[in-house]
Amino acid sequence: MATKEVLQNIFYFTNNVLRAAYFDRDWEKNSLLKAFQWAKYCEKVFHEAVAKSLSIELEKYLQDLTLKIPNCVVPCLNLCFLRDATHQLTLVVFFTCIISLILLVILPFSFFYIHQYSETDKVK
């Protein structure tokens, strides 16, 4: 696989897939499965680069790519990020779900509780 194509795919994963994982809370099963396939692809790139002694070269390309991605959700693309792409995606999806849960369940309940508490104070 050509270096340019690999970098375009890594760019797609970081700029599109991870960005969606951070900001989109409505994931369908197929979209989630595809996102994890992209993460596995990044891990495969890492393992192939290490096996072919191309890790130093790939690291340089990743540093250059980091500078080209505007408002990248990954502050520094490097080999470690590629190696742990599935783990990174899992964390993002998990924390996005937790935030959604807080916004959908806990926050409205707390506003209701605060409202009820303030109404009780008015009665006294």
Let me know: does 30 contact 55? Beta carbons within 8 Å: no
Non-local CB neighbours of 28 within 8 Å, separated by 6+ positions: none
DSSP symbol at 103? I
The amino acid occupying position 54 is L
pLDDT at 117: 57
User: What SS3 class is residue 52?
Assistant: coil
pLDDT at 95: 83
User: What SS3 class is residue 68?
Assistant: helix
pLDDT at 107: 63
pLDDT at 74: 72
pLDDT tens over the chain, length 124 residues: 567 899 899 989 988 898 888 887 677 888 889 999 999 999 999 999 999 998 899 899 888 888 877 776 776 788 999 999 999 999 888 888 787 777 777 666 666 556 555 555 555 5
pLDDT at 110: 61
Domain ranges in the chain are 3-98
pLDDT at 62: 87
Distances (CA, A) of 82 to 32, 67, 103: 18, 17, 31
